[in-house]
Structure 1
């Protein structure tokens, strides 16, 4: 619950102004899962069911140079998906990743085969010793 109050601002003519905290931002399922992984690591269970917004990754390549700011992950998606990509959440100890896909609104037949593609993920800070964790499975990828 956000607290609000009234405070006198000194040096501003004695005016009063209401201050408070912003309501918490609503997290999407991926961000909630990333927070859960950080909190519960290493005892993390996989998510249940297939969720197009949080698909398990096929793998990740851990770069030899830990000062790099880029990792490559292999995303599995449906052959008929219109778009696909990777969610990323970075923290001090983890890079949490998950695939996502959006289905085409196509009429007609579509096979249910799995396609895989390598996707480069740009990090905001060097990888260093952080663990790369698949959000869907809760497992460490490209172990160290």
Structure 2
């Protein structure tokens, strides 16, 4: 099967999935009559001044990892393997149900009251391994906070702090979940092509605030993915494509590759959008929890 056909098939599935929450939204389907650049402009225009943009700016949307490791992690390969295989040993009592709500606080004084997750829920997301290999031993658990990059800048966020045997500082896991993603004012593209497809997520934002690492899909018989950037007002729109597609026989394999892009100025509080879906680009892998 050709890589292009593979991408188109997957794109139809993806478009159907992301479109479920956008039924009734303004049409934005790319049909070949408009270039990916035109599509990006339409996405930016639809979001500018929209109710979705206002809701996004009022919410909590993390742009960083849900877990922050102890200082000096890891001391050895065994500890690293224990973490990557999610193998933990609990030798402490987990706190009972905490106060039901906490606050996310930004540097400009704004705050948002949000529901808290339990220590048990946080620990269960860390320790899914439960295998006979090396394990990290948890000797204490308490509620604290951590600094998190968000769509509105750095924020102080409630977090569960897990004391790990052998480490001087705790492992931190965020104790709140992101706000619900607002309904997009523009629908997803109906068909994926080599010229325009969905992104697989945001991997990281560099220390300069301008260098972004994105995750993009491609097939086994092409030259890899590319990402075009449109900076328009308070929006940044990314258009993912595939380079060097072939019409010859190809295995039906989907690959995800990291692609770095550099913006003209730091992200700040601008909304990062996917031209294909018409929705904000999610941090991390598609479907991963925060």
Q: Which residue of 2 aligns with 1:38?
A: 44
Q: Which residue of 1 aligns with 2:53?
A: none
Q: Give 1:104 shift.
A: 4.1
**Contact 1:94–1:133, Cα closer than 8 Å, also in 2:** yes
* 1:100-142 deviation digits (Å, cap 9, x = unpaired): 11344464x3112110101111111111111111100111013
TM-score by length of 1: 0.70
Whole-Å Cα distance in 2 between the matches of residues 83 and 128 of structure 1?
Answer: 29
Q: Which residue of 1 aligns with 2:273?
A: 133
Q: Give 1:48 shift.
A: 1.1
**Contact 2:206–2:212, Cα closer than 8 Å, also in 1:** no
Pick one of 226, 238, 259 that aligns with 1:97. 238
Task: Name whichever of 55-64 and 133-142 sits farther off.
Answer: 55-64
Question: Where does structure 2 lack aligned partners over 5 or more consecutive residues?
Answer: 1-33, 48-183, 284-290
Structure with more helix by fraction: 2
* 1:19-59 deviation digits (Å, cap 9, x = unpaired): xxxxxxxxx61221111112212401001111211110000
Whole-Å Cα distance in 1 between the matches of residues 194 and 245 of structure 2?
Answer: 12
Q: Give 1:87 shift.
A: 1.1
Q: Which residue of 1 aligns with 2:211?
A: 70
TM-score by length of 2: 0.36
Whole-Å Cα distance in 2 between the matches of residues 139 and 112 of structure 1?
Answer: 27
Question: 2:41 aligns to what SS in structure 1?
Answer: helix
RMSD: 2.1
Residues 104, 91 of structure 1: CA spacing in aligned structure 2 closer, same or farther, 3 A cutoff? closer
Whole-Å Cα distance in 1 between the matches of residues 242 and 193 of structure 2?
Answer: 9
Whole-Å Cα distance in 2 between the matches of residues 82 and 71 of structure 1?
Answer: 21
Residues 36, 106 of structure 1: CA spacing in aligned structure 2 closer, same or farther, 3 A cutoff? closer
Whole-Å Cα distance in 2 between the matches of residues 95 and 110 of structure 1?
Answer: 34
Q: Give 1:95 shift.
A: 1.1
The number of residue pairs the alignment matches comes to 114
Q: Give 1:64 shift.
A: 7.7
Query: Is 1:114 the equivalent of 2:254?
Result: yes
